[in-house]
Amino acid sequence: MNHLKSHIAVALLVVSLFATSLAVAAEFPGYIVAPERRTTGIGKFYMGREISFVMGHQAAEWLNRPGRIQEEMPDEVVANMGLEPDHVVADIGAGSGYFSFRIAKLVPQGKVMAVDIQPEMLALIENQKREDNVTNIEGVLGAVDNPNLAPNSIDAAIMVDAYHEFDHPFEMIDGIYKALRPGGRIFFLEYRGEEASVPIRPLHKMTEEQVVKEMSVFGLEWTDTLDFLPWQHMMIFTKVE
Ligand SMILES: C[S@@+](CC[C@H](N)C(=O)[O-])C[C@H]1O[C@@H](n2cnc3c(N)ncnc32)[C@H](O)[C@@H]1O
């Protein structure tokens, strides 16, 4: 009898684990590769949007242009992230570290995981770390479909002007989602696709509606959109479990 009970208990456990995994697994909406529909991007489409080209490291200096202070207000952005001094924050698509170094100052007992797929960008960050004697930024070489972050290891992730050029956006957000601790947040900054007057090419912009649609595939709650930036949305999503 006890033997039977333990079999039933094991069977129930397997069923409930299966049900849980079904509940949390995000459903992959699929990609469409259609070179004939290509505009200025890579001819690959995700949820109705054409994916942009990756910005090469040769243009990294452009990321540090002085006008960016007025255009993108980076210090105000990081001040609005509500970070605690011991938070671990992933800067995904970190580039030359324009945001990583600002965030590092706000998490003196924590750290910034600066993720990029271009080793040359990570090398720029390493040089800057040495120059400024910064010890709480860790460079992470990501893959196009994997941010290479440990599960349950980060309190927040930020993507600035980067997500639109991820050529595997589903896998990237899936990886970021798994790396977030429960209650962790994603900060999403993209130029506003709703406004024709925002001076950047169409595939480098995103509408709020499109971002919400793409995030809704995951267990992410759209918590807020902060509207203080001249040209970008600062959207916040929270991992709910
Ligand atoms: C336009 S730059 C923005 C850099 C930085 N966020 C900033 O605001 O200065 C976009 C960066 O995203 C990186 N990137 C593109 N696809 C990526 C991916 N799948 N994973 C990580 N980084 C990626 C590029 O290599 C590039 O450095």
What is the DSSP secondary-structure string of 123-176? Answer: HHHHHHHHHHT--SEEEEE-BTTB----TT-EEEEEEES-GGG-SSHHHHHHHH
> What angle separates helix 208-215 from helix 169-179, to the nearest 10 degrees?
60
Ligand 1 within 6 A of CB of 117: yes
Please state the pTM of the whole predicted model.
Answer: 0.91
Using an 8 Å Cβ cutoff, are 164 and 190 in contact?
yes
**Pocket of ligand 1 contains residue 144 by CB under 6 Å:** yes
133: number of CA atoms within 13 Å, CB side?
0
Token pair 């949390």 in the structure block, residue: 24
The answer, yes or no, to whether any atom of ligand 1 lies below 6 A from the CB of 98, is: yes
Model pLDDT, residue 62: 97
- Cα 214 to Cα 81, 196, 240: the distances in Å are 21, 22, 16
Residue 24 has a pLDDT of 54
Residue 241's pLDDT band, with cuts at 50, 70 and 90, is confident
Which residues neighbour 127 within 8 Å (Cβ) at sequence distance 6 or greater? none
pLDDT of residue 13: 41
**2-11, 44-53, 125-134, 161-170: which has the minimum mean pLDDT?**
2-11
How remote is the CA of residue 38 from the centroid of ligand 1, in Å?
Answer: 21
- CA–centroid distance, residue 196 to ligand 1 (Å): 24
**Is the CATH number of domain 56-239 3.40.50.150?**
yes
Token duo for residue 11: 């069977």
C-alpha 34: how far from chain center? 25
Q: Which of 210, 209, 196, 236 shows the shortest CA–CA distance to 80?
A: 236
Residue type for position 19 = A
Is residue 9 over pLDDT 80? no
What distance in Å separates the CA atoms of residue 111 and residue 89, rounded to the nearest whole number? Answer: 6
The DSSP letter of residue 224 is: E
- Evaluate: CB of 211 within 6 angstroms of ligand 1: no
**166 C-beta closer than 6 A to ligand 1:** yes
Mean pLDDT of the region 209-217: 97
Name the residue with tokens 């259609």. Answer: 34
Cα separation, 120 vs 64, whole angstroms: 15
CA dist 134 and 150 (Å) reads 23
Quote the distance between the C-alpha of residue 31 and its chain's center: 19
Q: How confident is the model at residue 25 (pLDDT cuts 50, 70, 90)?
A: confident
Average pLDDT estimate for 9-30 = 55
